[in-house]
Amino acid sequence: MLLTIDAGNTNTVFALLDGKTIVRQWRISTVVQRTSDEYTVWISQLMRLADLDPADVNGAILATVVPPVQRHLVRLCVDYFQCDPLIVGDERVDLGVGVRVPNPGEVGADRLVNAVAGHQLYGGPLIVVDFGTATTFDVIGETGDYLGGVIAPGINLSLWALHEAAAKLPRIAVEEPSTSRVTGTTTLDAMQSGIYWGYVGLLEGIVDRLRQEHDPQMRVLGTGGLARVFFNRTDAIDAVDGDLTLHGLRLIYERNVTAPAVS
């Protein structure tokens, strides 16, 4: 099995894949101070509960946008799973796509992984919208090249800032509204409407401008935990794939690791 690790700003997702099948996946908050020993205790217990053996893991790949956690995650792979992980962003790892921006090293590893998976699984040209800590829009050309994108504040980040900056505004969750009515009659309704329909407006506006710049027929693929919350209320998203990053890591691993010959 292949171990994939996607370390984001808020959460780190571990997944075990058997070919294209996701066998298990687990999520833990991203904490810079967490050591490889702590990761080992955590994941060993979860694997035991799932009746999985670390010896069945024969490869690993890691992508992170939080550099300080990389060393501990690499140590986890080496010590517990007995394998050296591929690291997205390492110059020796071939993504199979061009990165057509002035400073390719500035592009987050997760965005490049999504570009690889988006093109191989859905074709191009394509816009990938990832609803994470930041809401990112990534433009993939017809031949799979990464062309750039847009970074906006994430939804939960915006909610946190609103609550912190305004004394009388409570913390709320992002939810799909029960009606299409925009006008709120309570503070809670008004906040939920502002966040939800505000992000729909941001989504539709940026997608429209990107299509004008590149190709009016570009498809839009949503990913990230909140993608489905918006999918049913806007025509700006053509499809949703919550496992896009995991499959992108798998595809990059398969591209870079030659399977052993069968005798």
Q: Is the pLDDT of residue 118 over 70?
A: yes
Question: How far is 73 from 94, CA to CA, in rounded Å?
Answer: 21
DSSP 8-state code for residue 16: E
Average pLDDT over residues 221-240: 92
Annotation: binding site: 6-13, 108-111, 130, 133, 187
Q: Is the pLDDT of residue 262 over 50?
A: no
Sign of torsion, CA 251 70 111 130?
positive
- Structure confidence by residue, pLDDT tens digits, 3-24: 999 999 999 999 999 999 999 9
DSSP 8-state code for residue 54: G
What's the pTM? 0.88
- Does residue 238 have an active-site annotation? no
pLDDT band at 69 (very low <50, low <70, confident <90, very high): very high
Higher local confidence (pLDDT), 156 or 103:
103
What is residue 258's predicted lDDT score, i.e. its pLDDT?
Answer: 67
Question: How far is 129 from 30, CA to CA, in rounded Å?
Answer: 22
Task: Say how many C-beta atoms besides its own lie within 10 A of residue 115's C-beta.
Answer: 28
Q: Is the pLDDT of residue 64 over 80?
A: yes
Kindly list the structural domains of the chain, giving each domain's residue range(s) and its CATH number in brackets, ordered by start: 2-87 (3.30.420.40), 104-249 (3.30.420.40)
Average pLDDT over residues 33-39: 96
- CA 228 to chain CA centroid, Å, is 14
Q: Which two tokens stand for residue 118?
A: 């988006």
Mean pLDDT of the chain: 92
Backbone angles phi, psi at 127, to 5 degrees: -115, 125
What is residue 260's predicted lDDT score, i.e. its pLDDT?
Answer: 44
Least confident segment among 47-56, 159-168, 199-208, 213-222:
159-168
pLDDT band at 263 (very low <50, low <70, confident <90, very high): very low
What is residue 165's predicted lDDT score, i.e. its pLDDT?
Answer: 82
What is residue 181's predicted lDDT score, i.e. its pLDDT?
Answer: 84
Nearest CA-CA partner of 28 in 76, 60, 92: 76
Annotation: binding site for K(+): 130
Annotation: binding site for substrate: 108-111, 187
Least confident segment among 35-39, 167-171, 185-189:
167-171
Average pLDDT over residues 163-183: 80
Average pLDDT over residues 166-170: 78
The catalytic position among 110, 189, 208, 243 is 110
Q: Which amino acid is at 9?
A: N
What is residue 156's predicted lDDT score, i.e. its pLDDT?
Answer: 83
Average pLDDT over residues 225-237: 90
